[in-house]
Structure 1
């Protein structure tokens, strides 16, 4: 707090105390508060009232001023309010202004307050993981506009600021059509090096795992998990991975996120309450029962309570705030057991086992029931667990290692291996008619394929075609029945 000095409050030779910097009108408001415990804060008086309240330690007035300023936050003033709050040790207001500037970054950088920041303040803002942008374009443009405002004084700062722009996450077209043609960039070798790094990221995707760093990591607040596709772990033919990638449909681009603590293939991945869980799998030596949780807001993985049973190739699905893990392989046998994880209590419990052991089994939820579909050691019919209803018809090809996803009240089974061939076929189960039908096949056979739904379309991700591991992705539109 800003306390009065001894000279201000100890003037023995005067019949009054002279408090510097306080106007009569402000003092009148403060005296009214002392007697009435009410204060009227306005745009006209708040800048004098808050420092005065700090000086005289009137916490009620200070709180009222902070609440008023928070209600006035706008892209044009949030940076100034943040600095004002910091000057007067208003921590909550400072944090609120900080969050506001991050949430409204594209609008904030259009205003004079941003243009008048010094280099250190610009750097602090653009390096922040929490700024909410659909892409790195507004970040790059903010830096360029800031430099152009005072070219002679600021041009030398460009290389240092540009290192906080995550250029590898920009589209190739933007890099070549906009960044490459910017005169400031063309005149700086350091800037050119950063552009070359971004180009390499796009031209050599096989090197992306070696290029991980702050510039290849997407910002935390870009979007909600439900608006993205996440792929975690896996096997590339030589080693198991800890990496996680995220696909943003807005820019048709993948980006690297934080690594898991344990390398895994054959793990289950599911989103629950905005958090991503990765369960079980195989690390190259052992079947795992460990579970990790990724929070997109912090960018970090943490361990939660492990499963009771080690499982690789299990089916995973979310039902009523519980994550169900179905079947799998424990290193010795294929499993029929099922476990349920309570998200609220961080605890596991066993539920009724399936009638058939299944590894590389698909799992999904439809109308309050958990479905376990196909899988090794033998591709059997589709069953429900738990539940006691009649068993639906068998899938046509009964594949193992197929991708399973729910779209428009239909369960889609994508690819897999039928014991003889790796499949490109796709089937859809209609719960209303209790029947299976074939839809258009994928362009590529895929076993151990990931399947998910985003914005009304079905995605088939990576897998194995019988000859090689795949990184390609296909997208199915059910309206036109086409991949």
Structure 2
């Protein structure tokens, strides 16, 4: 028999995956019965928990240092833990013996505090993730301050970003008025604070002071100087800020207000205030979204033109490769993309997405009822309208309306004449559909107007030139500008909604065909197909100015819009 063993030359290593679980179960049973327990943990309220020294030292560096070193506790049978809730100790000991713990809204903060003290990192991280997952406008400030107290770096970062991105809603919550002065100043000084108007931030500061007027009146001047008065309208400065008792009682606050008024009284750039901040919190930029080509690379993304460096930068990838899609902006920082043709499938799409420039994220929404390539898209009174377009077989007269509040598309009255690649915009409470092609590749002069109150379409004065695949934008409260088109009309034309008339305007310095246009700071920006230049049009002077830049990215299949984006998106390490 011994000889047969000697012939076995191959070694075999055996392991039982069930052993760790089996050991933990046996140790847990022994703890419950008190068997072999050699230490007792005592906490406030007279609660005591029996355990095994080796188990405590194995799962907690805190206990390891306490029980294996020269500390007095290493020789005691009973050790006392202060400032830890009994329930948290019970949960952590259960975790040590079972590898399971149930986190709830009632225990998460105490559990995190205890895990932090006992250096149980995995539970601390799990509690932080739990708080992050259930964060909302009513609790984000408390979560941020709690994370800061316990050095939860990622939770601090995430909660602060949430506060900045949702500041209007957060500042209306009770937590906001309990902020300490230092933390309030930190938040309102941040360039990435998202407020539509600086006036809203001023009112939030006033609410904070009013919550404890006796204590906070003396703190107001220090907080007030971080409100960017250079961004507040002159009328609001005079009628609201300057007349507020908190401002009037403090000489430094009155001086800041006077300097802001002086800044507004000069032409832009003629007077730079020394103490009043005029730096915008969000930057208004031109964005292009869709299918792009750059030095042989083909991709879909949303890119923005950064005027300081005069080049395009990718903000984030677009979920699909499409062209022939519609683009529209809802509010200041939400962009919608709908329809188009998927490059991979070569057929019209009903899909819809929204992009939030504050979070720099895409979200897919409900699909349109009809697939549409060459669709026109525009926002009117808070609703998104998709007009015309075509699928593989039909030019469409149907019009759909999307409600962001319900994430639903519904149909409205159809346009009078089917069209594809028409230019669509909203102005003065009406929707305007200009040109396009009623039959294949045949440009049109037609102007169709939609009244949402009557759910009715009418025809208005036709354009001067027939245009297909032209670009459009609304300027001011009464004018619509149309440029380009496949027939390469060199001039731009302007429609006055009050007089129902078209007027020719000067042509760009270089012919821009099928390019995109958007309005930035009251001027029209036209972007060339090949991506190496753009032209800026001044409606007051009827004058074009060319801006050249080095990088060449083809935006021929893109839609254009103007968005507010966070300054931090322009940090070099965030750009692709």
Q: Does 1:257 align with 2:315?
A: yes
User: In 2, are the aligned partners of 1:293 and 1:303 still within 8 Å (CA)?
Assistant: yes
Counterpart selection for 2:334 from 275, 285, 292: 275
Rg larger in 1 or in 2?
2
**How far off is 1:317 after superposition?**
0.3
User: 2: distance between equivalents of 1:7 and 1:263?
Assistant: 61
**How far off is 1:94 after superposition?**
8.3
The within-5 A match list for 1:211-226 is none
Q: Does 1:414 align with 2:483?
A: yes
User: 1: distance between equivalents of 2:156 and 2:302?
Assistant: 36
- Which string of whole-angstrom CA distances, capped at 9 and with x for unpartnered residues, describes residues 188-216 of structure 1? xxxxxxxxxxxxxxxxxxxxxxxxxxxxx
The within-5 A match list for 1:71-150 is 85-86=149-150, 132=192
User: 1: distance between equivalents of 2:299 and 2:341?
Assistant: 10
Q: Summarize the Cα distance change of 1:391–1:476 in structure 2 as closer, same or farther, 3 Å threshold.
A: same
User: In 2, are the aligned partners of 1:315 and 1:360 still within 8 Å (CA)?
Assistant: yes
User: 2: distance between equivalents of 1:397 and 1:416?
Assistant: 10
- Which string of whole-angstrom CA distances, capped at 9 and with x for unpartnered residues, describes residues 104-124 of structure 1? xxxxxxxxxxxxxxxxxxxxx
User: 2: distance between equivalents of 1:283 and 1:239?
Assistant: 18
**How far off is 1:97 after superposition?**
6.0
**TM norm structure 1:** 0.54
Q: Summarize the Cα distance change of 1:8–1:382 in structure 2 as closer, same or farther, 3 Å threshold.
A: closer
- Which string of whole-angstrom CA distances, capped at 9 and with x for unpartnered residues, describes residues 4-53 of structure 1? x7387769xxxxxxx9999xxxxxxxxxxxxxxxxxxxxxxxxxxxx9xx
Equivalent residue for 1:392?
460
The within-5 A match list for 1:13-412 is 85-86=149-150, 132=192, 227-234=284-291, 236=293, 241-249=299-307, 252-273=310-331, 274-284=333-343, 285-376=346-437, 377=439, 378-386=443-451, 391-408=459-476, 409-412=478-481
User: How many residue pairs were aligned?
Assistant: 306
User: 1: distance between equivalents of 2:159 and 2:319?
Assistant: 33
User: In 2, are the aligned partners of 1:379 and 1:399 still within 8 Å (CA)?
Assistant: yes
Equivalent residue for 2:513?
447
User: Secondary structure in 2 aligned to 1:281?
Assistant: strand
User: Secondary structure in 1 aligned to 2:518?
Assistant: strand
**How far off is 1:93 after superposition?**
8.0
User: 2: distance between equivalents of 1:98 and 1:452?
Assistant: 29
User: Secondary structure in 1 aligned to 2:464?
Assistant: coil
**TM norm structure 2:** 0.46
Higher mean displacement: 313-322 or 281-290: 281-290
Looking at both structures, which has the greater relative contact order when contacts are Cα pairs under 8 Å and sequence separation is at least 6? 2
User: 2: distance between equivalents of 1:92 and 1:315?
Assistant: 42
**How far off is 1:269 after superposition?**
1.1
User: In 2, are the aligned partners of 1:451 and 1:458 still within 8 Å (CA)?
Assistant: yes
**How far off is 1:380 after superposition?**
3.2
User: Secondary structure in 2 aligned to 1:391?
Assistant: strand
**How far off is 1:83 after superposition?**
7.3
Unpaired runs of at least 5, structure 2 = 1-40, 48-79, 84-112, 118-137, 167-189, 194-279, 545-576
**How far off is 1:446 after superposition?**
2.6
Equivalent residue for 1:218?
none
User: 2: distance between equivalents of 1:91 and 1:471?
Assistant: 40
**How far off is 1:404 after superposition?**
0.5
User: 1: distance between equivalents of 2:348 and 2:380?
Assistant: 25
User: Secondary structure in 2 aligned to 1:453?
Assistant: strand
